[in-house]
Amino acid sequence: MAAEWERVWWRGKDRTDKSHQNSWRIYRGCLSTLPEGAIDLDGLINWIEQRSQPGKRHRGHYCTCARGIAKLAGLPLEQIQDLDGGYGFKPINPRDLPSDEAIANVRMQIDDPGWQYIYGLMAAYGLRNHEVWFLDLLDFPLVRVREGTKTGARAIEPLYPEWAIEWRLDLVVMPSRAVLNPESSNESLGSKVSRFFCRNGIFTPYTLRHCYARRCAEFGIPPNIAARLMGHSTKIHEVVYQSWIGEKVFLDVARRATENPDRPKPP
């Protein structure tokens, strides 16, 4: 992916230009530290934070590289943008996420049984787009992402459990034209999903993942547990995913806590 972005970056630029050469020398140095498994949103954000400091010039260099790679991988750019500018994470307005009713309705409009199945998995389990190809369903409705993925193994509960059961996600149906190569990279497998979503005007794959994060809050699941379900750090969950959740969700969770008869009482 880094080599591909290098070709894209140089496209239309004069390779003899000293300014361009100096810029690419900096970016090449940044890319040399990119972990092999960092080609997903969480990995890129972790890479930026670990290798650069807010308020320093090199933060912008890492963000430029991450944006280029994210664009090629079909990942959303907003969170990376928010790391740039020397200010670390900036407050952002929560994204207007689709309602769960809208998510269910879109699934019904997908004609291909295989892609409907893939969409259902991503909606119910908040999967990354490449993870749908590496699932163990032996403990259904709990599913497990297998160790073979670069994002690591984990167990996931569906939100909602009813979706997993009513949509028969225990019956594996692969898209008819999806030819899988076991040696394919995560980004290659994930791009199959991204291209289908794009061609059919569906939400981006990560929108379904963000909605799973929202549902975690609605269910009252603590951030550290939600982070484990989603396969990233608690810090990533609190800083990145909580920013996508509307004020109403936070207030509803807080209201349920204060109305709980077993809550602590004032002295």
Instruction: Check pLDDT > 80 for residue 55.
Output: no
Mean per-residue pLDDT of the chain: 83
Distance CA 87, CA 240 (A): 15
Instruction: Check pLDDT > 50 for residue 37.
Output: yes
Smallest CA-to-CA distance from 217 within 197, 237, 187 is with 237
Higher pLDDT, 7 or 79: 7
Instruction: Check pLDDT > 80 for residue 61.
Output: yes
pLDDT of residue 167: 97
pLDDT of residue 39: 73
Nearest 5°: the CA angle 189, 149, 35 is 95
Q: Is the peptide bond before 35 cis (omega within 30 degrees of 0)?
A: no
Give the pLDDT band (50/70/90) at residue 32: very high
Distance CA 26, CA 232 (A): 29
Give the pLDDT band (50/70/90) at residue 87: very low
pLDDT of residue 53: 81
Instruction: Check pLDDT > 50 for residue 11.
Output: yes
Dmax over CA atoms of the chain, in Å, equals: 74
Instruction: Check pLDDT > 60 for residue 242.
Output: yes
Residue with tokens 């080609």: 39
pLDDT of residue 88: 44
Spell out a b/e string for 105-132, using b for 16 or more CB atoms within 10 Å of the CB, else e: ebbeebebebbbbbbbbbbbbbbbbbbb
Instruction: Check pLDDT > 60 for residue 252.
Output: yes
pLDDT of residue 24: 92
**pLDDT tens digit sequence for 156-215:** 999 999 999 999 999 999 887 665 665 566 667 777 888 888 888 888 888 898 889 888
DSSP 129: T
Task: Enumerate the β-bridge partners of residue 136.
Answer: 144
Please tell me whether residue 155 adopts helix, strand or coil conformation: strand
CA 171 to each of CA 70, 157, 165, 182: distance values in angstroms, whole numbers, following the listed order = 32, 17, 10, 21
The CATH homologous superfamily of the domain defined by 100-257: Intergrase catalytic core (1.10.443.10)
**Interval 219-226 mean pLDDT:** 87
**pLDDT tens digit sequence for 94-147:** 557 889 999 999 999 999 999 999 999 999 999 988 888 889 999 999 999 987
Higher pLDDT, 46 or 239: 46
Q: Is the peptide bond before 160 cis (omega within 30 degrees of 0)?
A: yes
Task: Enumerate the β-bridge partners of residue 155.
Answer: 144
DSSP 34: -
Which DSSP string do the residues of 52-100 spell out, in sequence order? --TTSHHHHHHHHHHHHHHHHHT---HHHHHHTTTTSSPP-PPP-PPPH
Strand order across the 143-145 sheet: 135-136, 143-145, 154-156
pLDDT of residue 183: 55
Residues in the chain: 267
